[in-house]
Structure 1
Amino acid sequence: MSEALTAERLRELMPFAATLGVRFDRLDATEVSAELDWSPALCTVGQVMHGGALVSLADSVGGVCAFLNLPAGAVTTTIEVKCNFFLAVRRGVVRAVARPMHVGRSVIVVATDLHQLSGGDAPAGSGATRVAHAVQSQLVLR
């Protein structure tokens, strides 16, 4: 891609992430981050944010991280995502931070931590609390 990758351009390139409300704020090959607000529209029973919304956030942020580590002319696609959930998200904002674990010729592996910034089931005064951790493999397509 010849033009610079910006949060605005990502809204065009990733309409699903935009529909969810994912807001990218750091776009670097070593770290990509974004936030997603809790919303009743993203919930399952009991007003808990749906795991699919959290995995979609992780996959979106991790995919951008992989994209930023591609060689010229290549594209990427997710071939595997594994996510562990630690706490329910019942309100607030979830922040996802993705970092590359392995950048190879054919596969890029990215780890993404998801933290709740406010509200939720965390002990009072604990600040950001990790609610999930995802590891994904991205195939490098030349």
Structure 2
Amino acid sequence: MHPADLVATMPFAVHTGVRLTKAAPEEVVGHLEWEQHRTTAGNGMHGGALMTLADSVGAVCAFLNLPAGASTSTTSSSTVFTRGVRKGTVTATARPLHAGRTTVAVVTELRDGEDRLVAQATQSQAVLHPQPGS
């Protein structure tokens, strides 16, 4: 599936401006531009905007690592912020940490236009197998 088609399945990600440029099971890359309406006090990009980027890119990574026929749902997410973003594009790179029968764990790094670490998110996704007869 093309990266644009994958992000199109997530209306909130589309609404917030998340773009995907790479989508493969081993790595998913997405971007979000700094814009005034995505900021908080001091003109820094809002943590919720950064978490939306991380969650969206991480969810696609988890989806691409699911067993055939399975779906997924986030069960936990933890983000560590390391610096503010006051301009430019934030790039998120998600890689699977673990892809198992019942869970997928993904680590997503967010970097600014100067390749400095902005945040790191770790999320766990439940692997939801179809129930017989449903």
Please tell me the TM-score bracket, short chain as reference.
over 0.9
State the alpha-carbon separation in 2 of the partners of residues 11 and 84 from structure 1: 24
The corresponding residue for 2:132 is none
TM-score (norm 1): 0.88
What are the ranges of 5 or more consecutive residues in structure 1 without an aligned counterpart? Answer: 118-126
Moved over 3 A (4+): none
Q: Does 1:44 align with 2:44?
A: no
Q: Does 1:13 align with 2:20?
A: no
Counterpart code for 1:33 = V
What percentage of residue pairs aligned between the two structures are identical? 48
The corresponding residue for 1:63 is 59
Mapping of residues 22-37 of structure 1, within 5 Å: 22-37=18-33
What are the ranges of 5 or more consecutive residues in structure 2 without an aligned counterpart? Answer: 130-134
Q: CA deviation at 1:49?
A: 0.6
The corresponding residue for 1:136 is 123
The count of aligned residue pairs is: 129
Q: CA deviation at 1:42?
A: 0.8
Mapping of residues 46-125 of structure 1, within 5 Å: 46-117=42-113
SS in 2 for 1:113: strand
